[in-house]
Chains A and B, each alone.
Chain A
Amino acid sequence: MRAQFRFRIRLILGGIIVLALLVLLRLYFVQIVYGADYSAKADAQFTSGDSGLFDRGSIYFTRKDGTLISAATLASGFLVAINPQTLTNPEAAYQAIYQVASSTMPAHGAFIADAAKTQQVYIEVAHHLSDAAGTQLAQENIPGVEVLRERWRYYPGGDLAAHAIGVVGYGAGNTLTGQSGLEAEYNETLTRNGNNLYKNFFAQIFSNLGNLLVNARSAREGDIITTIEPEVETRLVADLAAANSQYSSNTTGGIIMEPKTGAIIALGTYPTFNLNDLTATDSSQLANPLVEHVYEFGSIMKPITMASALTAGAVQPDTTYNDTGCIHVDGDRICNWNYHAYGVIPMLDIIKYSLNVGASFVAEQLGQDRFRQYFTKIFGTKTGIDLPNETDALISNLYKPQQIYYDTASFGEGIAVTPIQMIRALGAVANGGTMVTPHLVSAIQLDNGVTRTLDWSKTVPIFTPAAARETTVMMDALWDDELAGGKVKIPTMSVAAKTGTAQLPTPTGTYYNNRFLDSEVAFFPSFNPRFIILLYTVDPKHTIYAADSLTPALNDLVHFLIDYYAVPPDRGFATSTPPS
C-alpha cells in the first residue's frame, strides 16, 4: 500500500514538473523570443502611451563663452483627437477645438468628414497645442474629443543654420529620422528607442545583454554639441540676406571657419527655410549647397595656384613676367579682367591685381604634372566634414593634355569645387600650408554622463610655411591697397583677402558673358589668423565684380568678428607693449 501511494505521488509530481517545464519554455518564447512582437501589439492597443511620445537628442550651438544654446530640441504640448464613434456633437466639438487650435486643425468640411467616419475610433485633428490651450480644452470634457500629450521636434533658431542642422521626417518608414544635415549625419546618436526602461527585468537581461554590456545604449545615444556660434551665425545670415536681396542673386552663401582647427563658427546660404514650418519648403531646398553643390569660383583660386608654384619652387616672390593683357593658348584667348597690360611685374601683382595672364604664367611655370598633382591633392578628395551627401570636385579637365585647361584652372575656371573644399584649401594658405578637416560637431554628450570629444586633428600638409606666408603677403596687399580703393584697410589689423568673379557656365558647356559667380575670401590677422571667411553669390544682377557685391558684407563680418571676439590688434604699434 505504501509503495503504491509513493508511486502515485511520484507520478503526479513528475507530471507537475513536466508541466512547469512546459510553462517555463512557453514563458521563454513569449517574453524573450517573441517579446518585441507582443510589446508592439500591446502598444498598438493604446492611443498614446508614454512610450509613444517622440524622443530625440538635442543639438546645441556653442556661444563664445561656452554656453550651450539649443539648435534642435523637443517641444511639449498636446494633440487633439476625436473618436467618431463617441463624438455626439461634431459641430460643437469643432467650435471648441477651433478656439484653441485654429492654426493646425483641418478646415470645417474636412473635420465634419472625419467625424462621420464611424468605423474609426481615433483621428488626430490638431497638433502642437500649448500646455494652456490643451489644459483648457481638456477641462471642457467634450464627449468624443481626446486631448493627449504630444512631443515634437522644435528648432529655437527657426531658420538659423537651417541647412546645417537639417530636418527630421518619416522618410520611407514610419519613424521620424534625420533626413538632412546634422540630424541625418548623427541620427544614430540622436535617435531614442523609447524603451530604455526595464519593463521586464529578466527579458532585458536575456535579450538585451548586448545593449547592457557591450554596446550600451546610454554609451552611444546623446546630444551633439556644434561649433556654430549663434550670434556669429545670425550676423552671417543677415549679411548674406542683405547681399542677396540687394543684387537679386539666385543664392548667396558663406562659411566662417577657424583655419587652425577646422571648427566652423558659422555657415549658411540664402534663401533658407524655417525648420519649424516646412509647408512652404520644396524638398530641393533641403540640400546644402555648401557641401553638395560645386562651383567654378574664379580668381579666389589664384592664391592656391601661387602657393603651389612657390612650394614647388617653380616661381619665387620676386620672379617677374611680362603681362601683355591677353594671351592665346590652344586657340583660345585668355585676358585680364580689365584687358589691361601691366608690363613686367612681380608675382605679388598677380594676386594684388588679380591677373589671369599672370596666373596662366604661374601654371605654365609649375607644369601640367605638378599642377595636377597639387590640385588633386587639394581637391581630389572630400573634406570629411560631418554633413551628409558631400560631393566630389570636378577636376577632370586636369587630366587632359591641352594647356588651356591648366591655365583656366589656375584662375578658377574649368574646375568646380564645393564651397567647403574651397575654404579648406584657402585655409591651408592661412594655416601655414596645412589643410585641416572642417567640422561642425565638437563633442557628443552621452546619456551616461560622459562627454566624448571628437577628434578632428587629422591634417594634410600641402604648402611649405614659407610659400603660405609669401602668398599671404600678396593677399594682405590686396586688402590694404586695392580693395574698395584701400578704404577697407584697418590700421591695427592685417587682413588677407582675395576676390573672384567667374563667368557662369551655360548648359551647353560654354560661358555666359553677362552672368557671374562672385566670391571673396578673407582671413585675419594675416600671419596668425583667427578666422577665415568665404562668401559667394550666384548670378548677382546690376553688378559684375565681387569687389562690389561682397566686399561690404565681408568688411562687416571682419569688423564684427574683431569686436565680438576682441581680437587683439596685430600692427600699429612699435612694440607689443603699448606705450603708457
Chain B
Amino acid sequence: MFDIIRTAPVSAPSVRFTSAIRPPERRTRSRKLAQMGGAFRTALSRMTALSPVKAAAVLVAFLAIAYIGLIAVVMSYAASTIDFAQNVRNDEAHVSQLEASYLNQIASITDTNYTALGYVKPAVIAYVPSAQATALR
C-alpha cells in the first residue's frame, strides 16, 4: 500500500575553520551536535514513513500497556484506601466506646441521689454580687 520512502542519511554540514582560531574541544562538540541532529532527522523521517496500520498497532499496544498499568495503580490505591478506611472505622469504634462510657458517667451523675448520700438542701439561700463570674463552669 505504501512504500517505505528511503532517504539518504543526512550528513553533517561541513564546517571549515582553522585550528589556529578554534580550540579542538569546540570542534568535537559541534560535530556531536551535528550527528545528533542527523540521527533525529533520520528517526523522524522513519516515523513519518510508517504506514497508518503500523501506527495504529503501536498506539493499541501503548494503550494496552497503559491500561494495564493504570489498573495496577488504581487497584493498589484502592487497596491502600480500603485499609486506611478500615483503620479509621476501627478507631471510630474505639472512640464510640469511650463516648458511651462518658454518657454513662453523665447518666450516673444525673441519677445520683444526693439526699441518700447525706447532702441536704441549704436552709437559707442568699445572693451576693461578685466582681466576675467564676471560671469553674
Chain A contacts to B: CB under 8 angstroms: 6, 10, 13, 17, 20, 50, 53, 55, 58, 69-70, 73-77, 151, 154, 156-158, 160, 197-202, 230-231, 234-235, 238, 491-492, 563-564, 566, 568-569, 572-573, 578-580
Q: Say yes or no: B103 contacts A568, CB within 8 Å.
A: no
Main secondary structure of the interface of B (DSSP, over half): helix
- Give the docked Cα–Cα distance between A200 and B77 (Å): 12
Q: Say yes or no: B100 contacts A157, CB within 8 Å.
A: yes
Q: Say yes or no: B110 contacts A160, CB within 8 Å.
A: no
- Give the docked Cα–Cα distance between A231 and B107 (Å): 8
- Give the docked Cα–Cα distance between A55 and B93 (Å): 12
Q: Say yes or no: B137 contacts A566, CB within 8 Å.
A: yes
Interface assignment of B90: CB less than 8 Å from any CB of chain A: yes
Contact of B89 among A20, A151, A197, A200 (CB under 8 A): A151
List A contacts of B78 (CB < 8 A).
197-199
Contact of B93 among A75, A157, A197, A580 (CB under 8 A): A75
Q: Say yes or no: B1 contacts A156, CB within 8 Å.
A: no
Interface assignment of B129: CB less than 8 Å from any CB of chain A: yes
List A contacts of B103 (CB < 8 A).
69, 156-158, 160, 230, 234
Chain A's nearest CB lies how many Å from the CB of B59?
A: 12
Give A159's nearest chain B residue, CB to CB.
Answer: B107
Interface assignment of B70: CB less than 8 Å from any CB of chain A: yes
Q: List 12 A-B contacts (CB under 8 A).
A: A69-B99, A70-B96, A70-B99, A74-B93, A75-B93, A151-B89, A151-B93, A157-B103, A158-B100, A199-B74, A201-B74, A238-B107
User: Which of A77, A197, A491, A578 lies at the interface centre, i.e. has the most chain B CB atoms within 10 A of its CB?
Assistant: A197
Q: Say yes or no: B96 contacts A234, CB within 8 Å.
A: no
Please, what's the 1-or-0 string for B97-133, where 1 marks a CB less than 8 Å from any CB in chain A?
1011011101100110000000000000001011101
List B contacts of A17 (CB < 8 A).
56
Q: Say yes or no: B95 contacts A70, CB within 8 Å.
A: yes
Interface assignment of B48: CB less than 8 Å from any CB of chain A: no
Contact of A76 among B56, B89, B100 (CB under 8 A): B89
Q: Say yes or no: B77 contacts A198, CB within 8 Å.
A: yes
Q: Say yes or no: B106 contacts A73, CB within 8 Å.
A: no
- Give the docked Cα–Cα distance between A136 and B102 (Å): 28
Contact A69-B82, Cβ < 8 Å, known A154-B93, A491-B127: no
Contact of B60 among A20, A69, A74 (CB under 8 A): A20
Chain B contacts to A: CB under 8 angstroms: 1, 53, 56, 60, 67, 70-71, 74-75, 77-78, 81-82, 86, 89-90, 92-93, 95-97, 99-100, 102-104, 106-107, 110-111, 127, 129-131, 133, 137
Contact A74-B106, Cβ < 8 Å, known A6-B1, A156-B96, A197-B81: no
List B contacts of A231 (CB < 8 A).
106
- Give the docked Cα–Cα distance between A17 and B106 (Å): 73
List A contacts of B127 (CB < 8 A).
491-492, 569, 572
Q: Say yes or no: B99 contacts A156, CB within 8 Å.
A: yes
- Give the docked Cα–Cα distance between A198 and B131 (Å): 62
Q: Say yes or no: B106 contacts A234, CB within 8 Å.
A: yes
- Give the docked Cα–Cα distance between A219 and B104 (Å): 34
- Give the docked Cα–Cα distance between A74 and B92 (Å): 7
Lowest 9 A-B CB distances belong to which pairs?
A: A578-B129, A156-B100, A76-B93, A197-B78, A156-B99, A73-B96, A566-B137, A201-B74, A238-B110
Contact of B133 among A76, A154, A200, A566 (CB under 8 A): A566
Give A51's nearest chain B residue, CB to CB.
Answer: B82
Give A198's nearest chain B residue, CB to CB.
Answer: B74
List A contacts of B131 (CB < 8 A).
578, 580
List A contacts of B93 (CB < 8 A).
73-77, 151, 154
Contact of B129 among A53, A238, A563, A579 (CB under 8 A): A579
Contact A50-B89, Cβ < 8 Å, known A572-B127, A578-B131: no
- Give the docked Cα–Cα distance between A160 and B104 (Å): 10
